Chains A and B, each alone.
Chain A
């Protein structure tokens, strides 16, 4: 019986069981970086759109759908650009709908299930605060296209951040039930914050080039802003938890595959469908 072919180990593999360790800068760094930016927006946009028709009121339904559309608009711009950079004839749609889960580069926070409205708002507050600070810096990126997308998106995200923060405050400082739900929501999402600030070799490389930015540089601003919201919500800061990393390298929670199955079903089943 023929033996299995030899396993082709990457030359920089340590073999030390560091399954999830950053592997260095491989492939096309700009393409990879654009996937991170685009996939964060795409996946959170898809998550928020799951609320459509199910939100606590028709006004909240519209708020969530508006945010979802903002995010999907950003994703379109980033992923279209990623496709151009890659140069293999793929556009934003093909990257969104014809890519498998291991090729997604979003962070874990955005792929987490909506839970109840409080958890959705906790997730949104933690993510939009980060994205707002990030896009504010990327608006000065050495890459003109990224700078232009970030400059447009930073205004949208400023609103997402304000809206989500207001809901965190109101639910935290609300009724006994809303307070419990918001505390649970923050507790659930808190462990995914560390990944937002992970500076792996690719992030470091892009920051050195002036295209990306040093995430650590706004960690203190982020912590202070989130702490202020949680304080105003009269909630105790969630205890630190073991951070979960890996999304930037394609290691995702089990939830992302389910999300993609819903999102990608139609274009994959009917590849020529137009609407």
Chain B
């Protein structure tokens, strides 16, 4: 249905894991969106919990801002914990 709004679907595949974006469905409202998400994305035991979010409610970064948004992180390898060598004498890390 082209006049139904779009909903983004998030599935928790098992307890303890976070919900992961899997796709989207069309539905007239949140209740039916949840049903459609269940019938579309969890019919082969893919999940134990579902979220649906109106796609229109998502604020996305602008691809034309990619350089300013993401490039500065490229040369900050020291932000990774693996950048530091832990001295052998330091225990419990």
A59-B26, A170-B28 known; A66 vs B1 contact (CB < 8 Å): no
Q: Is A63 an interface residue (CB 8 A)?
A: yes
A59-B25, A59-B27 known; A170 vs B32 contact (CB < 8 Å): yes
Give every chain B residue within 8 A of A60 (Cβ-Cβ).
36
Q: Is B43 an interface residue (CB 8 A)?
A: yes
Complex formed: what's the CA distance from A59 to B6 in Å? 12
Partner of B26, one of A57, A166, A170: A57
Partner of B43, one of A66, A166, A167: A66
Interface digits, A177-200 against B, CB 8 Å rule (1 contact, 0 not)?
A: 000000000000000000000000
Complex formed: what's the CA distance from A108 to B40 in Å? 31
A-B contact count (CB 8 A): 29
A85 to chain B, nearest CB (A): 32
A51 to chain B, nearest CB (A): 13
Flag if A66 contacts B4 (CB, 8 Å): no
Flag if B4 contacts A62 (CB, 8 Å): no
Specify which of A59, A66, A167, A170 lies most central, judged by the most chain B CB atoms within 10 Å of its CB: A59
A56-B1, A57-B1, A57-B26 known; A62 vs B32 contact (CB < 8 Å): no
Q: Is B35 an interface residue (CB 8 A)?
A: yes
- By the criterion of a CB under 8 Å from any partner CB, how many residues of chain B are at the interface? 14
Flag if A57 contacts B35 (CB, 8 Å): no
Q: Is A134 an interface residue (CB 8 A)?
A: no
Give every chain B residue within 8 A of A163 (Cβ-Cβ).
35
Q: Is B39 an interface residue (CB 8 A)?
A: yes
- Interface residues in B23-43 by Cβ distance below 8 A to A read 25-29, 31-32, 35-36, 39-40, 43
Q: How large is the interface on A (under 10, 10 to 19, 20 to 34, 35 or more residues)?
A: 10 to 19
Give every chain B residue within 8 A of A167 (Cβ-Cβ).
32
Give every chain A residue within 8 A of B35 (Cβ-Cβ).
63, 162-163, 166
Specify which of B4, B39, B40 lies most central, judged by the most chain A CB atoms within 10 Å of its CB: B39
Flag if B31 contacts A59 (CB, 8 Å): no
Complex formed: what's the CA distance from A150 to B40 in Å? 25
A50 to chain B, nearest CB (A): 18
B49 to chain A, nearest CB (A): 16
Complex formed: what's the CA distance from A56 to B31 in Å? 17
Flag if B43 contacts A62 (CB, 8 Å): yes
Which residues of A are interface residues toward B (Cβ below 8 A)? 56-57, 59-60, 62-63, 66, 162-163, 166-167, 170
Which residues of B are interface residues toward A (Cβ below 8 A)? 1, 4, 25-29, 31-32, 35-36, 39-40, 43
A57-B4, A59-B27 given; name 11 further pairs at CB < 8 Å: A56-B1, A57-B1, A59-B40, A60-B36, A62-B36, A62-B39, A63-B35, A63-B36, A162-B35, A163-B35, A167-B32
A-B contact list, 8 entries, CB within 8 Å:
A59-B36, A59-B39, A62-B39, A62-B40, A66-B43, A163-B35, A166-B32, A170-B28
